[in-house]
């Protein structure tokens, strides 16, 4: 896992957005429903929080993503953006966003180097290719200001620590 103070590369990856999920019927998504997003463009609007998770529709990940959804609803006045990140395809992300009313974009590490850049890609076992559960908060220069990871199920990030980091970055701007 990358540590605080590390500056990461400006990688572009496919994202599924709540607007795209709402605009099409589940099961009929196409390439036109997927956008490309660079980390720098995402961080231009304020601190960027990337919440890496192993996969949509798994017990722990569903709970975590819904917890993050509820948290973002509670802190609507906070600057910055949140992206969920996994190796799932963007079309799976769209279905998940639709089903669970996720209010933030989901970014796919499928077929790109995003998970490897943050050193959270599993490289061994039957689950090689998925990501570890991790959260990174980046400033607009793509420097990691907060890093957290776990391999334990049903262990979630400290939302107050994330919020505090976002507030610190915002105050510095």
Average pLDDT over residues 113-130: 87
Average pLDDT over residues 2-18: 91
- Share above pLDDT 90 across residues of the chain, in percent, rounded to a whole number: 57
- HEC sequence for the chain: CCCCCCECCCCEEEEECHHHHHHCCCCCCCHHHCEEEEHHHHHCCCCEEEEECCCCCCHHHHHHHHHHHHHHHHCCCCCCEEEEEECCCHHHHHHHHHHHCCCCCEEECCCCCHHHHCCCECCCCCCCCCECEEEEEECCCCEEEEEEEECCCCCCCCHHHHHHHHHHHHHHC
Q: Give 49's Cβ-side CA count (13 Å radius).
A: 29
pLDDT score of 81 more than 70: yes
pLDDT at position 146, please?
Answer: 96
pLDDT at position 4, please?
Answer: 75
Average pLDDT over residues 25-51: 93
pLDDT score of 57 more than 80: yes
pLDDT at position 78, please?
Answer: 66
Average pLDDT over residues 40-59: 91
pLDDT at position 46, please?
Answer: 87
Domains of the chain: 12-172 (3.40.30.10)
Cβ atoms of 20 and 31 closer than 8 Å: no
pLDDT at position 128, please?
Answer: 78
Cα-to-chain-centroid distance, residue 111? 16
Average pLDDT over residues 154-164: 86
Cβ atoms of 89 and 108 closer than 8 Å: yes
pLDDT score of 76 more than 70: no
Instruction: Round the average pLDDT of the chain to a whole number and report it.
Output: 89
């Amino acid at each position: 896992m990358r540590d605080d103070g590390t500056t990461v590369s400006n990688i572009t990856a496919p994202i599924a957005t709540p607007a795209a999920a709402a605009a099409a019927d589940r099961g009929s998504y196409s390439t036109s429903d997927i956008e490309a997003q660079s980390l720098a463009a995402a961080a231009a609007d304020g601190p960027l929080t990337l919440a890496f998770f192993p996969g949509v529709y798994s017990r722990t990940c569903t709970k975590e993503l819904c917890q993050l959804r509820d948290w973002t609803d509670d802190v609507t006045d906070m600057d910055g953006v949140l992206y969920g990140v996994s190796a799932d395809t963007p079309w799976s992300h769209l279905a998940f966003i639709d089903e669970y009313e996720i209010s933030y974009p989901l970014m796919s590490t499928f077929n790109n180097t995003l998970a490897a850049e943050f050193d959270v890609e599993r490289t061994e076992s039957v689950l090689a290719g998925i990501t570890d559960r991790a959260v990174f908060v980046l400033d607009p220069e793509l420097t990691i200001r907060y890093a957290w990871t776990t391999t334990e199920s049903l262990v979630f990030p400290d939302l107050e620590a994330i919020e505090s980091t976002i507030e610190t970055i915002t105050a510095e701007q």
